[in-house]
Structure 1
């Protein structure tokens, strides 16, 4: 790594003098894993010899496979299968499949092969190039009632050898090339074209700079300016959405980020320099700044000893205690990428960093690949989402309600693996807030995670896993509860509904609680299945004092289930839209606002119809769509806990203000011993702070009693109803008495403080009378 091994020269014959890959460069096969949930359809493009492995088809479950040749004709035999029936469009979310079939000129009945329960993986081989659709059928009513849902794992292993770790193409490329390790390549982008910067092997860094082509023609070097960009977007890292652009020093946008699968970059440091290596004892070491100067020289760009750059995949952060810039190994995985759209004609340069004396790329410089896509390529905005660090990556999707949301707002933000509206400009956050308080709102909450827990030991599992007594939960009732780890820290919170004696539905915030349930079931040998619904059940929150009146116009229930007017707080039922033939959905009297409210859970196939019905029925009641910004104001006023705010790793349920959801009289549950100990001698408590001004402190702001910090702000907002700022804060019990006068530190608490009075939470409607109305 040091001395004579420093990267001065290259002997890799896989590249020509420009860095473009020669034919015959070492290649590798590719295996991709897909998870298929109930009613989903997955399209796979198979080449000759590709293998398809299917695992996890459980009891009373099935998969449907359909195969087409290159001209769109059914060809199950090319996958070694025989037809066993016809595709039933109504049994899955078929819009994408049907559109594809029509585009191929297909119509009528389509032969399929049905695959029932498997005890071991089924492996299929493509005899010719084919398109395969794998479908997980389930009737809509069965999905809503929690009957035999579940996910299936599908692996596609490519037989053909491909360039190492390169992700699938995003569209029609104009050019692509590899930047060898320790090199830089300059290239041109026309306005509207896309550049995809790919980390080939993972944990590599790639410096990037762009200059306006029209400026270079005049002898002006208008390039990305870090100060202007930080000022314009008010953030330091790239991200899709409205705050995603890179600007020059005249505040003119040059590029915007369209997709980012890594999410951790240092966008405004310097590329590595000769001086940086010299001062650490490595004179003559290759460096990105010199490489960039050399690559840009043919365009007449002035040479620089140190180039500012967007440092893609460089895992850098500011230490909150010392404010020093720190760095560690990159977060990027093989094939991670950033895709950007050029707003102007540009000259760009990309590097593959040669740094082998720092951890930024694991001390192992590797290649970077660049693809340039034509302007007409339909690359949608997206970021990567992984359920956990080693889980397969998925690109953020549009919600099932997106066709109705998109005409109303352009302000979306990632909510796990979906885009969720932040606000609607026709009403604004404040208008949405008052609509929820005084009339009725509808909000897309499809980012919630849902799990069905089914089987004779379902109750036993949930008794062990959750903090409330599940044995007391009747059918058609729900309960807000927690899942904790052994230390009593909250893993997740959510609502547990009982749909039948042996069927529960857990609606929560993260996939970790689903994994914890499965682990506990396996450890105890319980007869239970934990089914992740993934994206199969989008949901709407209909909240506000007029919500019940609205729903009376569209909800139909059968006599054997609770009617709308019979639902008490946290009651649940299954219903249909308007009449017995309407779209089925689960209806619960629940929400995250503290107001009277309901939640509707439906099939993706019925999402648009249900949205339309809600909006039509809500016109007379003043219905308003609501985004996440207004919801955050309302939930803080209502004293409702948020993940990574009120509860976070290292914070037990009582310190998170969630002791009301802990039943210590239960015989046992995960974390009980720790919570019993902490309940006897609490050290911290979650309390409210009434702030005597409109200044809103930041999450994590210190709370002081004199010179000593005695707490920390977990969430804060300006309350429109109280007409001043409020906060929830975790305080030492010695300073948590109502009426205590404390101060919230701004500017580290030294230069500015906000006076605050300790109070109970919720701030508004402490008896929850509005929700119980």
Structure 2
């Protein structure tokens, strides 16, 4: 068995007392002290996450936009410089290989950010689909580290970080799903260029910093110093999962898989079905009327939450299965996402969860469960 990989920030996590787990082939921090404290910090102040396990692919060439229009579900050729877009990599049958974010640096230079566990699958798909286009696809994962600062204080923290200088655009003017650029100045090293996206996976305002892997520890330290007066805390996978669940954001392997087509997961809007051609188009057309289960939100009372794999009941009939669930730290009651039969998916429908043999009433609700107000 191959040992999991470690990120450039592994030693920082060890020094902070993190506990680790194998996630997508990487040894990643689950929590430092309290995952609940980290969750609340992101909602009220800020949390810092090491997400360097994510995979980055650089696409260059005069047909870069046309290539990604064909390779992915969305219309990426319409992006403007420094804009980002959520998209999907589909297989020919319309199933989801991965969900990704695409950033455009220039007309002939884009970046695709994929999930760690799907790095090889996405690499294979992009390289295979690039054959008919004048583009080059580079796997840049090993030279890029990715650090996220998420929460209401995130902008103030980045603005106070002395290692980040010469911002191309003020952070206060940066819109959601846009990117800016800066220089990173560290003692004893030449300045280097970094990219900063106003993106995240928590439902809060925040930023994701793409920095050279060799500089990641010093960047982490600089952010921690700047964030201390603002309540910044290190946050791991446990809090990241409850944050994204409250925000109704899917997790690959739970709400997304090759057995799920976008419309089932509420992602039909992500697919530019009117494009002339893209991988998965014919498969999607074949399953539009299949009546497959659809993703819904579920809320219940008490303290017992449904977990992935638990059955969803309508009367005495099993109508679906929970994909993710937790006792919401922000809302104070159990929440879950589940795939259920379309006949049981209408908002307000009264269902039940089989929680280890106990029937727990649950109500279908619109996603997301939580939405920030500012």
Q: Quote how far apart the aligned CAs of 1:398 are.
A: 2.6
**Higher-RCO chain (CA-CA 8 Å, sequence separation at least 6):** 2
Q: Structure 1 residues 581 and 548, CA, compared in 2 at 3 Å: closer, same or farther?
A: farther
User: Do the aligned residues in 2 keep the contact of 1:400 with 1:538 (CA within 8 Å)?
Assistant: yes
Within-5 A mapping of 1:492-571: 492-509=98-115, 510-511=118-119, 512-522=121-131, 524=132, 526-554=133-161, 555-557=164-166, 561-571=168-178
Q: Quote how far apart the aligned CAs of 1:553 are.
A: 1.8
Within-5 A mapping of 1:367-766: 384=2, 395-425=3-33, 428-509=34-115, 510-511=118-119, 512-522=121-131, 524=132, 526-554=133-161, 555-557=164-166, 561-577=168-184, 582-680=191-289, 682-747=291-356, 751-765=357-371
User: Do the aligned residues in 2 keep the contact of 1:562 with 1:572 (CA within 8 Å)?
Assistant: no
Separation in 2, partners of 1:649, 1:549: 40
Q: Quote how far apart the aligned CAs of 1:726 are.
A: 0.6
Moved more, 607-616 or 568-577: 568-577
Separation in 2, partners of 1:406, 1:464: 43
Separation in 2, partners of 1:676, 1:717: 35
Separation in 2, partners of 1:756, 1:490: 28
Other-structure match for 1:380:
none
Q: Quote how far apart the aligned CAs of 1:527 are.
A: 1.3
Separation in 2, partners of 1:533, 1:692: 46
Query: For each residue in 1:43-89, what CA deviation from the matched residue of structure 2 results, as whole angstroms up to 9, or x when unmatched?
Result: xxxxxxxxxxxxxxxxxxxxxxxxxxxxxxxxxxxxxxxxxxxxxxx
User: Do the aligned residues in 1 keep the contact of 2:42 with 2:151 (CA within 8 Å)?
Assistant: yes
TM-score (norm. length: structure 2): 0.93
Within-5 A mapping of 1:106-117: none
Query: For each residue in 1:396-454, what CA deviation from the matched residue of structure 2 results, as whole angstroms up to 9, or x when unmatched?
Result: 233211222111124011233432110012xx011000000000110100110110011
User: Secondary structure of the residue that 1:655 maps to in structure 2?
Assistant: helix
User: Do the aligned residues in 1 keep the contact of 2:305 with 2:334 (CA within 8 Å)?
Assistant: yes
Rg (Cα) greater in structure:
1
Larger fraction in helix? 2
User: Secondary structure of the residue that 1:697 maps to in structure 2?
Assistant: coil
How large is the RMSD of aligned CA atoms in angstroms? 1.8
User: Do the aligned residues in 2 keep the contact of 1:553 with 1:578 (CA within 8 Å)?
Assistant: no
User: Secondary structure of the residue that 2:143 maps to in structure 1?
Assistant: coil
Q: Structure 1 residues 670 and 423, CA, compared in 2 at 3 Å: closer, same or farther?
A: same
User: Secondary structure of the residue that 1:593 maps to in structure 2?
Assistant: coil
State the number of aligned residues. Answer: 367
Structure 2 unaligned regions, length at least 5: none
Q: Quote how far apart the aligned CAs of 1:677 are.
A: 4.4
Separation in 1, partners of 2:58, 2:143: 12
Separation in 1, partners of 2:141, 2:23: 13
User: Do the aligned residues in 2 keep the contact of 1:641 with 1:657 (CA within 8 Å)?
Assistant: no
Separation in 2, partners of 1:713, 1:456: 44
User: Secondary structure of the residue that 2:88 maps to in structure 1?
Assistant: strand
Q: Quote how far apart the aligned CAs of 1:578 are.
A: 6.0
Q: Quote how far apart the aligned CAs of 1:744 are.
A: 1.0
Q: Quote how far apart the aligned CAs of 1:756 are.
A: 0.3
Moved more, 661-670 or 428-437: 661-670
Separation in 2, partners of 1:761, 1:696: 17
Structure 1 unaligned regions, length at least 5: 1-260, 262-383, 385-394
Query: For each residue in 1:667-722, what CA deviation from the matched residue of structure 2 results, as whole angstroms up to 9, or x when unmatched?
Result: 22111233244445543211100012211222111111112111110100110122
Separation in 2, partners of 1:678, 1:436: 39
User: Do the aligned residues in 1 keep the contact of 2:42 with 2:150 (CA within 8 Å)?
Assistant: yes
Other-structure match for 1:60:
none
Separation in 1, partners of 2:213, 2:112: 19
User: Secondary structure of the residue that 2:249 maps to in structure 1?
Assistant: coil
